[in-house]
Structure 1
């Protein structure tokens, strides 16, 4: 990759810069980040267009092994932790006072911790390195969604595009119905996966060996520790800490579920025998190769290749023409997904065309 593309992956840091500016301006300024993500970025995304270039096969191994790309994700991990602590501090002692400022600051913050942070956690959670997996869990702790580490890797990637996957949206299912199903069924499924893992090893699910117990407790302990320290410092109970921490977490993982909804809406794998499905290929996820939004999202939008080759690092994910293509990048599509009639009118015809070309009925 040339230096321009390498630097492109640092564009994610533009979002926290907007939050800092918005906080400095105060009032409506706290919504600047949202204007950037949902108005400015889609306009730039559409004007710059799609990049279908792939890394030449003979260079894939070398580019995959370049430390630079891991370094960007490592830096983001520690930056997000520090940035979250700053956010907690300013909502407690800074100039976040009115309901308007609280709403703008919290929603904008979730675009960073959810839109970028969970994307980085997703990338790192697929890797074999213990350090990268630790960073993945650390990032997920900051948004109270640590079970995603288990459910995504051992549940979603196994069952994607089948009725067994709560993170695959059905045709004509609204995002709001999908949110309930994916959040609650995904969480309970993660418990089942972890409990089954322990039983296979001859261990009791109700023990400290159960990762789900730790995943449930750690975000609460993290928030409680910060609340205790700041309350001791202030001399009064700093209620702002848990309110902000859990509110930004809620919006962050809801943003993740919006992305899940967009990525897999209505796609189905063929059932080759009862309970068995064709293997996952690049045709089984919606793809978007829009250049600018892919920089911000570490090429998450090349989701078709990710599901076909989950171990591949973000910098070498391929575009496939045969994959079902979204009409726009994620920043545009997730806004459309919030308006079901608009979403259905835009996506159902594309979905039916995909199903008919693969001898399936869009159920």
Structure 2
């Protein structure tokens, strides 16, 4: 394994910490959370972002290196091992409530970073095997409809009023949670129903992907209830919800206040790098498998995580994703910093338009 690929194994530090947490008590349980939400954000405040891209020769080599894919594949069984350990560790109240809370938050961290985030990466692949792995990871976070809405909804409607996953200028993250979770779920049903009808089947049949996903998730929770008891089942649902909120916080910071121009008849300009907030802070990039190079991801969704690029014109966040997610939870501070950046971007855009249409003088 080359150093370049090895760095993407570093998120397994959080995974190892989670396993220790599930079989510990006291302050040790909270170590993965402190590492994620305190150590990394503080470190990234002092580290400069890395804007460099791979050369074409390097990119060709990296594309052929299977280690990058194998790392993602390995996360699927690891995620279910961690889930089993969590469920076993919270079966009874014979431990302090604060310990249970810590374990739920740690499992929620895995649901968000490994379950949904890696599921997101694999969900963009065209290989049926990889798509199946994506669904398995999303199942571990009870968010299987994300596979439908994200690929067939969000990527088409990003940075437009029609997209429930794009945060609007001046919208608080807490209001965004309600809007994106409800309307994304409804959108997934709409997309799945339409696709089922196109295939000539009833929307009430198992050919309807959304209906199938709901049954799978209900069956999964039922299996946990049988094997581990009602307390573990409830705490798993809470942990999954925590993972979902982590995802939606990421969605909030990725497109906040950015809009594509309407070209009439309900159509919009193509999604370009300037329609997503980007972060080149290395630790956050590696921790989330380059998700923070989000501008390039939306510009070319088929590009694998290890070859995502920095675009000169993409709007840049002042720090990495973990720090920006924390900032989003404090709306006055978020608006103070990000609204000024948006106004600066708008000013630059207006200046470029005026320059482009300025009359030529001799």
Give the TM bin, normalised by the shorter chain.
over 0.9
Any conservation in 2 of the 1:175–1:340 contact (CA below 8 Å)? yes
Q: Which runs of 5+ in 2 are unaligned?
A: 352-362
Q: Please list, as runs of the form range in 1=range in 2, the aligned pairs for 1:318-357 lying within 5 A after superposition.
A: 318-357=309-348
1:27 to 1:334, Cα distance in 2 relative to 1, 3 A? same
Tell me, what secondary structure is at the counterpart of 1:283? Answer: helix
The match for 1:307 is: 298
Deviates more, 1:18-27 or 1:71-80: 18-27
Any conservation in 2 of the 1:96–1:102 contact (CA below 8 Å)? no
The match for 1:69 is: 68
Any conservation in 2 of the 1:12–1:295 contact (CA below 8 Å)? yes
Any conservation in 2 of the 1:90–1:96 contact (CA below 8 Å)? no
Any conservation in 1 of the 2:19–2:82 contact (CA below 8 Å)? no
Q: TM-score, normalised by structure 2?
A: 0.93
Deviation sequence 1:140-187 (CA, Å, 0-9, x none) = 001110000000000000000000000000011000110000000000
Q: Please list, as runs of the form range in 1=range in 2, the aligned pairs for 1:118-133 lying within 5 A after superposition.
A: 118-133=116-131
Any conservation in 2 of the 1:223–1:241 contact (CA below 8 Å)? no
Please point out which of 98, 101, 112 is paired with 2:99.
101
Tell me, what secondary structure is at the counterpart of 1:272? Answer: strand
Deviation sequence 1:9-49 (CA, Å, 0-9, x none) = 01111112222333454123322211111110112223332
1:359 to 1:278, Cα distance in 2 relative to 1, 3 A? farther
Tell me, what secondary structure is at the counterpart of 1:225? Answer: helix
Any conservation in 1 of the 2:142–2:217 contact (CA below 8 Å)? yes
- Aligned pair count reads 351
The match for 1:207 is: 205
Tell me, what secondary structure is at the counterpart of 2:316? Answer: coil
* Runs of 4+ that moved beyond 4 A: none
Please point out which of 252, 257, 270 is paired with 1:261.
252
Separation of aligned partners in 1, 2:245 and 2:133: 21
Separation of aligned partners in 1, 2:173 and 2:324: 12
The match for 2:59 is: 60
Deviates more, 1:240-249 or 1:47-56: 47-56
The match for 1:216 is: 214
Separation of aligned partners in 2, 1:191 and 1:24: 39
Q: TM-score, normalised by structure 1?
A: 0.93
Any conservation in 2 of the 1:167–1:186 contact (CA below 8 Å)? yes
The match for 2:15 is: 16
Any conservation in 1 of the 2:19–2:85 contact (CA below 8 Å)? no
1:82 to 1:25, Cα distance in 2 relative to 1, 3 A? closer
The match for 2:359 is: none
The match for 2:193 is: 195
The match for 2:49 is: 50
**TM-fit CA distance, 1:297:** 0.6
Any conservation in 1 of the 2:22–2:85 contact (CA below 8 Å)? no
Separation of aligned partners in 1, 2:143 and 2:22: 26
Deviates more, 1:351-360 or 1:117-126: 351-360
Deviates more, 1:118-127 or 1:17-26: 17-26
1:333 to 1:50, Cα distance in 2 relative to 1, 3 A? same
Separation of aligned partners in 1, 2:238 and 2:24: 22
The match for 2:357 is: none
Any conservation in 2 of the 1:114–1:255 contact (CA below 8 Å)? yes
Any conservation in 1 of the 2:104–2:236 contact (CA below 8 Å)? no
The reply on whether 1:296 has 2:287 as its aligned counterpart is: yes
Tell me, what secondary structure is at the counterpart of 2:273? Answer: coil
The match for 2:36 is: 37
